[in-house]
Structure 1
Amino acid sequence: MNNYEQVLVALRRVIRATDLHSKRLSKTAGLTAPQLLIMQTIRDLGEVTIGTIADKVSLSQATVTIILDRLEQRELVYRVRSEKDKRKVHAHLTESGGSLLDRAPQALQEEFIRKYQNLQSWEQNMIISSLQRVAEMMDASGIDASPFLDVGPINRDHEWKNPTQRDDRKPDPASKLKAS
């Protein structure tokens, strides 16, 4: 196998591992990696503002708000306006959110970070340099990215559907009765 083929195989393995973990997280917990990371941040920091969450997970406040909207619809988090400063909103885990978080698999990057931190500093720097060069070679160095491993758009939803909400893509059986 040529050197460039070895690089492509290694890249494909990273992409595939990220995709498989994302699917497992969605299947077992009904969460995306950004949703998991935000819920973990709320758990770890306690009563926390949206801005603090955004800073901690390296996402914009707008993106965090969209993700929190989806988590709130599922009753996994709730938000409360600050009594002291009405401009601030604090996010909290619900009991079911905490329970789901306890059962969810760990984020893919957690194991990577643990192993990476055990490397010598020269090896860490070599990996950083190599991956930055690969991103540049793939015209991806200018793409905004957050420090967690996931595939697809950050603020996408998962496959979970609220069973009490009707899916508008399916024909409503009652509409046939009205039309007759």
Structure 2
Amino acid sequence: MPQKKPTRPDATPAGRLVEARLHHVMGYQLAQATIATTLVYMREVGDPFELRPVEYTILSLINENPDGSAAQLAQALSVTAPNITMWIDKLEGRGLVQRTRSETDKRAQHLRLTDKGATLVTQATEKLLLGEREAFAHLSEGERTILIELLHKVALTRPARKG
């Protein structure tokens, strides 16, 4: 009977390969964590609500920042203006987002969620937070808070996208 390799703290989550030096590479660990969080996202929000992660993010940001612009979203998500316009068009087509012309600058448009969009993003967020709590129950509330704060600090090092 083949012997099972002992579980090591520096082994991959699946496949049980020794990570060795990779264990200390932040980008590698973030990528591994992304796999786990994406599985939770797809189970709780992606499949049931038919929302891609970028769509959920856009809806959430519009919900938290009513009357913001597509340019602000593009900068926040580090994507091009044509790319964000494509996503907003899709969400508008689903009846989740509405554009309104600025009163002061007729070239500018403000973004808001429709009632349908606001309800969807609220329900999706509740399901996602609950799903993450259940999936990552091995983390204490304090550990979760620290992890989120540290990830945010890492994200804040990103330079602003030009144009």
If the length of structure 1 is used for normalisation, what is the TM-score? Answer: 0.54
Taking only the aligned residue pairs, the percentage that are identical comes to 26
Residues 91-120 of structure 1 deviation map (CA, whole Å, 9 limit, x = unaligned): 1100000000111044899x998432556x
Report the secondary structure of 2:117's partner residue.
helix
Q: Which residue pairs with 1:96 in the alignment?
A: 116
Q: 5+ unaligned residues in a row in structure 1: which ranges?
A: 126-145, 147-180
RMSD: 3.6
Cα distance, 1:35 vs structure 2: 0.8
Q: Give the number of the structure with larger relative contact order, counting CA–CA contacts within 8 Å between residues 6 or more apart.
A: 1
How many residue pairs get aligned? The number is: 121
1:115 lines up with 2:137 in the alignment: no
Which residue in the other structure is 1:151 paired with?
A: none
Q: Is the 8 A contact 1:41 1:56 kept in 2?
A: no
Distance 1:113 1:73, change over 3 A: farther
> 1:118-157, aligned counterparts within 5 Å?
none
Aligned to 1:164: none
1:67 equivalent to 2:87? Answer yes
CA contact (8 A) 1:51 1:61 kept: yes
89-98 or 8-17, which moves further after superposition? 8-17
Aligned to 1:6: 18
Aligned with 1:17 (options 36, 40, 63): 36
Unaligned runs of 5+ in 2: 12-16, 137-142, 155-160
Secondary structure of the residue aligned to 1:86 is coil
SS in 2 for 1:80: strand
Change (3 A) 1:26 1:68: same
Identify the match of residue 98 of structure 2 among 56, 62, 78: 78
1:35 paired residue among 41, 48, 55: 55
